Amino acid sequence: MRYSGFKVFTEGLFGNKGWTPAWRDPAPKAAYDAIIIGGGGHGLSTAYYLAKNHGLRNIAVLEKGYLGSGNIGRNTTIVRANYFLPGNSEFYSHSMKLWEGLEGELNYNVMHSQRGLINLFHSDGQRDAFARRGNMMINQGDDAILLDREGVRDLLPYLDFENTRFPIYGGLLHPRGGTARHDAVAWGYARGADQLGVDLIQNCEVTGIDVENGKVVGVQTTRGAIKSAKVGIVVAGRSSQVAAMAGMRLPIESHILQAFVTEGLKPVIDHVISFGMGHFYISQSDKGGLVFGGDLDFYASYASRGNLPMVEHVMEAGMTLVPMIGRAKVLRSWGGIMDMTPDGSPIIDKTAVDGLFIDCGWNYGGFKAVPASGWCMAHLMATGQSHDVARRFRLDRFRAGQILDEEGTGSQHNLH
Ligand SMILES: Cc1cc2nc3c(=O)[nH]c(=O)nc-3n(C[C@H](O)[C@H](O)[C@H](O)COP(=O)(O)OP(=O)(O)OC[C@H]3O[C@@H](n4cnc5c(N)ncnc54)[C@H](O)[C@@H]3O)c2cc1C
């Protein structure tokens, strides 16, 4: 079924009885040409592009819960391409281009909204760093505008400009940055993959990875054994656990990141605002809720909920920057399990086991990567070669000492 405004109109006229399920609910087959473990954003986009770009049809996505039950449905929906250094910058630039055509590509409204992202700065040194970053973004083909204090005040008059600890000196505006509806992205890719013949198998937890003579031959699941000579591990926060099934120890720690949403309000915040000094960022959803978050809960955990000290910290930072939000009621908070790498950058690579691939290390920024990650992981699984824009996301870079500088702050992040 193709979705369109006309279809919505005619279905409305006839009692909405003609809609069909967006994807099938198949039983697992005994064997597939490729298996993707994990039905999050990255797993679904990988399956979609394997089928769409590389012509594979006999593919299964195995998801232990329901599609979109992981971080793809838990994030704060920010989409941006504002990286400073090679490695991440070309990858996220590619992802942004895919975002810009995504709704047409999937025939699905993912509510992509390029409302502009503003990173605030609070000192002369930070202004210099953001000016350099903005120039690099422009060189990469993306967009950036350096705003002074009055430029920020014009766009965001409700911020506290009198804050003495972190006075606002200006901001770096990334006009093509913005948001998209997170679970719609999962649903859009799921529907697209299903239409290309991919079996999306929910409530199917992978419990073992079968390896014979250094080659992957299939997986064990709660719904039986399934054979395949190509398996992709795409399980975000659970990467270390699933990789351990193939005897691998990853350079990853799993940490919790929390987020919050208020009651629905009339439109008031029409950009995404990032307050790095206070570890706080905020935007407003199309339903009206103020969506905001801050830093990680800095302890390793697999619990999908966070602790009170970080709640307090985020609320303090929010009140410091946007005092008016103190009048809004927080409706919900939640947490997601982040797959944190030492350099804050992802891994899309082969493993030492023939036919076993891994896509992980998305840290707190993997939502915006969903299109490019699937594109590059599919390229790797289909051709055996890394895609150009993901060639630095190697698993062995930590051993080889070639780490990526995600923040653009030098090799020792803690010193900046
Ligand atoms: C609070 C919060 C805010 C965030 N904000 C942003 C943001 O604004 N912008 C941004 O770019 N990123 C953001 N992120 C990060 C982003 O959400 C993640 O990096 C990204 O969603 C991870 O990839 P995924 O969608 O594939 O993960 P997931 O949706 O977690 O998918 C992994 C799937 O694997 C499944 N799985 C695990 N183990 C198994 C198994 N053994 N067998 C079968 N299936 C298994 C899980 O059930 C899950 O569905 C945020 C994350 C959180 C938690």
Element (H, E) at 74: none
From 77, 364, 376, 406, mutation site for ligand 1 pocket: most ligand atoms within 8 A of C-beta: 364
CB 245 within 8 A of CB 356: no
Six-digit token string for 43: 């797993």
- Segment 382-395, tens digit of pLDDT: 999 999 999 999 99
- Segment 49-96, tens digit of pLDDT: 999 999 998 999 999 999 999 999 999 999 999 999 999 999 999 999
End-to-end CA distance of the chain: 52
- Give mean pLDDT, residues 364-389: 97
- The alpha carbons of the chain give a radius of gyration, in whole angstroms, of 22
From 182, 235, 260, 338, mutation site for ligand 1 pocket: most ligand atoms within 8 A of C-beta: 235
d(CA 132, CA 82): 11
Whose tokens are 């919050």? That residue is 260
Does residue 178 register a pLDDT over 70? yes
Number of H helices, E strands in the chain: 11, 19
CA of 151 to the centre of ligand 1 (A): 35
Q: Where are the alpha helices (DSSP H) in 295-348?
A: 308-321
Amino acid at 276: G
Please name the residue whose Cα sits nearest to atom 3 of ligand 1.
Answer: 75
Please name the residue whose Cα sits nearest to atom 20 of ligand 1.
Answer: 366
DSSP-derived pairing of the beta strands 34-37 and 78-79: unpaired
Band of residue 411 on the pLDDT scale cut at 50, 70, 90? low
Return the sign of the alpha-carbon dihedral for residues 126, 132, 136, 139. positive
From 75, 174, 199, 285, mutation site for ligand 1 pocket: most ligand atoms within 8 A of C-beta: 75
Query: Quick one: pLDDT at residue 401?
Result: 85
DSSP-derived pairing of the beta strands 199-201 and 178-179: unpaired
SS3 405: coil
- Segment 148-164, tens digit of pLDDT: 999 999 999 999 998 88
Query: Which atom of ligand 1 sits closest to the CA of residue 221?
Result: 42
- Segment 196-210, tens digit of pLDDT: 999 999 999 999 999
Does residue 412 register a pLDDT over 70? no
Query: Quick one: pLDDT at residue 305?
Result: 84
Name the residue among 61, 124, 69 with its Cα closest to residue 378: 61
Name the residue among 405, 369, 290, 395 with its Cα closest to residue 95: 369
Angstrom CA distances, 221 to 33, 193, 372, 412, stand at 17, 21, 28, 41
CA of 154 to the centre of ligand 1 (A): 36
Query: Quick one: pLDDT at residue 414?
Result: 54
Q: Which residues line ligand 1 (CB under 6 A)?
A: 37-43, 62-65, 69-72, 74-78, 205-206, 234-238, 242, 257-259, 293, 336, 362, 364-368
Please name the residue whose Cα sits nearest to atom 2 of ligand 1.
Answer: 75
Six-digit token string for 324: 């008016």
- Segment 99-108, tens digit of pLDDT: 999 999 999 9
CB 227 within 8 A of CB 57: no
Six-digit token string for 85: 């250094």
- The pLDDT > 90 percentage for the chain reads 92
Element (H, E) at 170: strand 170-174
- Give mean pLDDT, residues 392-406: 90
Query: Which atom of ligand 1 sits closest to the CA of residue 179?
Result: 8
Cα 408 to the center of its chain, rounded Å: 20
Please name the residue whose Cα sits nearest to atom 53 of ligand 1.
Answer: 336
Query: Quick one: pLDDT at residue 413?
Result: 58
CA of 234 to the centre of ligand 1 (A): 9
CA of 366 to the centre of ligand 1 (A): 7
Q: Phi and psi of 45, rounded to 5°?
A: -70, -35
Band of residue 407 on the pLDDT scale cut at 50, 70, 90? confident
CB 325 within 8 A of CB 260: no
- Segment 255-313, tens digit of pLDDT: 999 999 999 999 999 999 999 998 999 999 999 999 999 999 988 999 988 899 999 99
d(CA 376, CA 91): 9
Whose tokens are 């691939």? That residue is 357
Does residue 9 register a pLDDT over 70? yes
- Give mean pLDDT, residues 385-412: 87
Does residue 416 register a pLDDT over 50? no
CA of 237 to the centre of ligand 1 (A): 7
Strand partners, 285: none
**Residues comprising the chain, all counted:** 416
Band of residue 410 on the pLDDT scale cut at 50, 70, 90? low
- Segment 210-250, tens digit of pLDDT: 999 999 999 999 999 999 999 999 999 999 999 999 999 99
Does residue 409 register a pLDDT over 90? no
From 71, 88, 310, 339, mutation site for ligand 1 pocket: most ligand atoms within 8 A of C-beta: 71
Does residue 381 register a pLDDT over 70? yes
d(CA 164, CA 36): 51
- Show the CA angle centred on residue 101, arms to residues 100 and 103, nearest 5°: 105
Query: Quick one: pLDDT at residue 96?
Result: 98
d(CA 92, CA 100): 12
CA of 41 to the centre of ligand 1 (A): 7
CB 247 within 8 A of CB 260: no
Query: Quick one: pLDDT at residue 189?
Result: 98
